[in-house]
Amino acid sequence: MLKLTTAILLLLSANDGDCCFGQRSQTRAADRRGIRKSDTKLMRLNSPGQRFTATHGIQLKAGQHQNMIFVVDRDDVRYMSVSANIALRGTLGAPDKYDLFLKKNSPPTPIHYDTKATVTAAESYVGSVLYSRDITIPKPAQGNYHLLLIARESFSDLLITAIMDYPHNQTENNLSLQYSYT
């Protein structure tokens, strides 16, 4: 009887290819817990009419997440880009502390997304190299691009830059680009 009960419990616990208790991946469990229907506030990354927006001081504890949105409201955008790093001396950008996912028109999850950020390297003013997690989309269609930031480890000073590159207005002075800092 005990073997039958154990077998039934194992069958009932298996879900979407999971085979045993305790072997479900954290990301799949997070997906089932409802990251899609997040209880966190939706943060807009880019400012209307601005080519470049920087958001400083984002902090999350390990396991927490933040939903964000990048709005493409023009049809002449050359590319959109989101870059994230922790620019503190000694961290080298700390790309291992977080993941960043993007999906057009609906919130992503670690399982269901269109694009996952890749690690890139650049020269750094706080050390020899600064690693970032970046997403770039050439010629994006108009719409809402949802992003999901998940903290693998706690952090307190994440910087996210959002760029939406489009042709300059003929009357705009090329030396006075518009910037917004939040």
Q: Are the CB atoms for 86 and 133 separated by under 8 Å? A: no
Per-residue model confidence as pLDDT tens digits over 67-115: 999 999 999 999 999 999 887 766 777 888 999 999 999 999 999 999 9
Question: Under 8 Å CB-to-CB from 25, ≥6 apart: which residues?
Answer: none
pLDDT-based confidence at 150, cuts 50/70/90? very high
In a domain, 4, yes or no: no
Q: Looking at residue 157, which CATH number applies to its domain?
A: 2.60.120.1050
Q: Specify if 104 maps to a domain.
A: yes
User: Domain limits at 163?
Assistant: 24-167
**Number of domain units in the chain:** 1
**Average predicted confidence (pLDDT) for the chain:** 76
| 20 compared with 45, residue with greater pLDDT | 45
- Examine residue 178 and state whether it is found in any structural domain, yes or no: no
pLDDT digits (tens, 9 = 90+) for 111-130: 999 999 999 888 766 667 88
Residue 178, pLDDT score: 53
**Is 14 among the domain residues?**
no
Q: How many CB atoms lie within 10 A of CB 84?
A: 25
In a domain, 177, yes or no: no
| Residue whose entry in the numeric block shows the structure tokens 């050359």 | 78
